[in-house]
Chain A
Amino acid sequence: GAVVSQHPSRVICKSGTSVKIECRSLDFQATTMFWYRQFPKQSLMLMATSNEGSKATYEQGVEKDKFLINHASLTLSTLTVTSAHPEDSSFYICSAGGLAGRVISYNEQFFGPGTRLTVL
């Protein structure tokens, strides 16, 4: 199956700093990447959808200036949490879909292992 990696897997930072999380598709190219946030013992909430080469589409209630998403290539999307605060502490998960150059089920998404962000 297709492999998606995230880096870092865990990050602890001070309040007010910015944190960048990378999501990479390792053995395939993805035209669409999704970013989710998951609080403890809760479900995944979609934050934004990014299509390669275009601006990300954010879900209602997600601040686009706080959560900057860049999808510069078919294998890499980044999420930057700017001026992080303790309430931003969460588990961030990306997924890749819309595999380029491959006839696939339209429904396939491949998930990364997640990044645990703790803001002190």
Chain B
Amino acid sequence: SQQGEEDPQALSIQEGENATMNCSYKTSINNLQWYRQNSGRGLVHLILIRSNEREKHSGRLRVTLDTSKKSSSLLITASRAADTASYFCATDARSSGSARQLTFGSGTQLTVLP
């Protein structure tokens, strides 16, 4: 079953505007990651925030994490048409061998209109 739920499912904005996506999860986590997926392609890792962190920045990306509410948000500032993609949060709570398994949220489809 899906660990995370994301909202909105779809978001359409104008170029230059900010886009905010939210993710909620159910169990305790070690960290939360955000990924981007262009249509029909693989995933690109965007940013990782650890369970003891509350906010993290990377370029135009800002991620927050509220472990008390079991939620995270991804903010993309000054959006560009090239940001059009699906965005997924992923949590890791189980380990297998030397790597942790990821559980993905349902995703947000972002469309940035030029």
Interface residues of A (CB under 8 A from B): 4, 6, 30-32, 34, 36, 41-46, 49, 51, 57, 91, 93, 95, 97-98, 100, 105-114, 116
Contact = CB atoms under 8 A, between A and B. Distances in A.
B48 A44 contact: no
22 contacts: A32-B97, A34-B99, A34-B101, A41-B109, A44-B43, A44-B88, A44-B104, A46-B101, A46-B102, A49-B97, A49-B101, A51-B96, A51-B98, A93-B42, A95-B43, A97-B99, A98-B99, A108-B99, A111-B43, A111-B44, A113-B41, A114-B40
B99 A32 contact: yes
Contacts of B92: 107
Contact of B103 (A6, A31, A46, A110): A46
B42 A31 contact: no
Where chain B touches its partner, the secondary structure class is strand
Interface of B: 2, 30-31, 33, 35, 40-45, 48, 88, 92, 95-107, 109
A10 B40 CA distance: 10
Contacts of A41: 109
A43 B2 contact: yes
A4 B48 CA distance: 20
A118 B83 CA distance: 28
B98 A93 contact: no
Contacts of A106: 95, 98-100
A49 B42 CA distance: 18
B40 A97 contact: no
A42 B102 contact: no
A107 B43 CA distance: 15
Contacts of B35: 111
A9 B13 CA distance: 31
B97 A98 contact: yes
B40 A98 contact: no
Most buried by B among A6, A32, A57, A107: A107
B10 to A, nearest CB: 9
Contact of B42 (A34, A57, A100, A114): A114
